Structures are given as C-alpha cells and as structure tokens.
Amino acid sequence: MERQATATILGYPEGIAGRVMTTEYVRLRQGLTVAQALSKIRINDRDKETVYYAYVTDDNRKLMQVVSLRQLLFSLPDALIRDIASDRVLKVRTDTPQEEVAQLMKRYDLLAVPVVDREDRLVGIITIDDMVDVLEEEATEDVQKLAGGGGDESALASPGVTIYKRLPWLLLNIGLYIGAASAIAPFQQTISLVPVLAVIMPILANSSGNVAFQVLSVTVRGLGVGEVTPEDTLQVLRKEMLVGWELRSPWGAVWGCCR
C-alpha cells in the first residue's frame, strides 16, 4: 500500500500539488454518526499524517464536506457527520502549482488542504509542514535569481554545475557592458575635452546598479509573498519609470519625497 502511494505521488511532475501531497488522511462517510466517526479515527486512523481535519466523501470518494476534530469532540455522539460538517471546502487540484497552494494555506491559516483530481475525487492532502519546505525552496530560488544565479544552485555544487548556472548571466552582463561602451564611444572627443566626465560616468553606473538592485529586491519580495503577480507587470514598470524620471536629479528626488 505504501509502495503504491509512493508510486502515485512520484507519477506527478515536480512543482505541483500532486507531487507534494500525502495519501495519509482521515476520510469519513456522510452517513456516520459522530460516535462512529471518532471510533473509526481511534481504530483505523491513528497513523495518519494529521487528524485535525477529516474529509467527508461519498461512495465514489468525491469530496463533499470537511469537519474538524474540534467539531467532532464537541458535538453530540448521535449527530450525523453530514449535519455538522462544513460544505465550504477549500481544495486544490493535483495540477495546481505548489506556490498557489502555499499562498492559499497562508491566506486562510490552514493546517492542511485536500487535493482532488479532475473528477473532484479526494486523492490526498497537503499539510503545513510540507508547505514550509516548499516556501523555503521558493525563497532560496528567488534569492539566487536575484543574485544572478541559476535559481537551484547549491553551495556545495560541483564547479561544473556552478559554471553552467552562472555563465549565461555573466555573458549577458558582458553584452550589456559592451553595448554601453559602444554608446559612449562616439563621445570620446568630448570626454577628452572635459576629463571630469570620465570620473562621473562610473559613479552614475554604480548608482544605476544600486537602483536596479533595489527594484529587484522589492519586486522579488513582492512575488514571493504574493503581493505582485505577472498581471501587475505593466503597473510595476510604469511606477519604476516614474520613480526613475523623478530621481534623475537631486531636485527631482526632493520633489518626489515631498509629494
């Protein structure tokens, strides 16, 4: 049974709910009473991943309701499960991206969320401890991308892997510097007449690099916590262009701060 469950989970691609779910969950039928449900949990479900939530299904395993252990403990023994369980079930599909699952659990403070297939049949649950691991992976990937890494590079990776991950970013930076140098080349005579320009250029370049790093930090953080979505791309670009225009001079910066 355990081998079959492992094979089922490994059959899903990485990065989706089906890959991080567990098939160890508490399932109840609607026709049970509270006393029968508690007895079933004591006898058959003591080794399940979590007993904080029990999921109510029909005979075809279609997810119908959810009931908490607290509701079971404080309900009358003769009460039917279908009468005390909630019809409002927050659930995800097996192909839901794991980042969306993490945001859902964070938004509603869930300890676990059920996973259903295309026919709405219950196939597993995702617990909060699984999502902690996912959030750590996503945060690590975001930080590495922010620093110009490959997104999944390990500190103990082999030199070959490190080169493979970092080389595209280095080549991209070299191309950008070559483009900037080509843009400056026609003004060599002007720079020779006003040498102070040669001193100012690296200062401006470093300042623009700092601003870019600030923009990336804020944007990546917003993506990580769900404040920013791909649909907000134009809005973010518009805001940053306005900020850059206002910061083009000290007077613009002062005016922007006072608005």
**Selection from 109, 133, 103 nearest residue 21 by Cα:** 133
Does residue 30 fall inside a structural domain? yes
Q: Is the confidence at residue 5, as pLDDT, over 60?
A: no
Does one domain contain both 41 and 82? yes
- Per-residue confidence at 8, pLDDT binned at 50, 70, 90? low
pLDDT above 80 (res 65): yes
Residues 79 and 160 in one domain: no
Higher pLDDT, 243 or 76: 76
Residue 167 maps to a domain? yes
**Does residue 205 share a domain with residue 129?**
no
Q: In this predicted structure, what is the pLDDT of residue 215?
A: 76
> The whole model's pTM is what?
0.60
Q: Are residues 130 and 9 in the same domain?
A: yes
pLDDT at position 186, please?
82
Same domain, 51 and 108: yes
CATH number at residue 118: 3.10.580.10
- Residues 91, 114 contacting (CB under 8 angstroms): yes
Domain assignment present for 142 = no
- If asked whether residues 79 and 6 sit together in one domain, one would say yes
Q: Where is pLDDT greater, at 253 or 228?
A: 228
Rounded Cα distance between 9 and 11, Å, is 5
Q: How many domains does the structure of the chain reveal? A: 3
Note whether 95 and 111 are same-domain residues: yes
Mean model confidence pLDDT for the chain:
80
- Average pLDDT of the segment spanning 18-38: 91
Q: Does any domain span residue 42?
A: yes
Residues 240 and 256 placed together within one structural domain of the fold: yes
Do 213 and 124 lie in a common domain? no
Per-residue confidence (pLDDT) for residue 87, from 0 to 100 = 92
Position 141 in a domain: no
Quick: pLDDT tens for 115-143.
Answer: 999 999 999 999 988 887 777 777 666 66
CB atoms within 10 A of CB 232: 14
Indicate if 204 and 166 belong to the same structural domain.
no
Beta strands across the sheet bearing 112-116: 92-93, 112-116, 122-127
70 within some domain: yes
**Looking at per-residue confidence, does 145 or 210 come out higher?**
210
147-204 confidence digits (pLDDT tens): 555 555 566 677 877 777 777 777 887 887 788 778 777 877 887 777 777 777 777 7
pLDDT tens string 92-101? 999 999 888 9
Residues 155 and 59 in one domain: no
- Same domain? For 128 and 248 the reply is no
- The residue segments making up the domain with residue 53 are 2-136
Query: Is 258 a domain residue?
Result: yes
